[in-house]
Amino acid sequence: MHHNKIPGRGDGGRSLFTLHPRQEFTGRWWEADDTAVTQQAITTAAAVFPDLPAPC
């Protein structure tokens, strides 16, 4: 969560959350469009971080 490392990185009280998916995820979603990949990544991250807000 880079907003904790770099002050001012998240504007307006928002946070910056960076995901680094493993090869299993990227291989499975490589051909999908960006919207589908983003939604799946957020859904997967929310399983670990249930309070993760919806993206703006």
**Distance (Å, rounded) from C-alpha 15 to C-alpha 48?**
17
C-beta of residue 29 within 8 angstroms of C-beta of residue 36? yes
**Distance (Å, rounded) from C-alpha 35 to C-alpha 32?**
8
pLDDT of residue 10: 67
pLDDT at residue 1 tops 60:
no
C-beta of residue 46 within 8 angstroms of C-beta of residue 53? no
Domain boundaries, the chain: 17-49
**Distance (Å, rounded) from C-alpha 3 to C-alpha 40?**
23
Rounded to two decimals, the pTM is 0.61
| Tens of pLDDT, residues 4-50 | 667 776 677 776 777 888 898 889 999 999 999 988 888 888 898 88
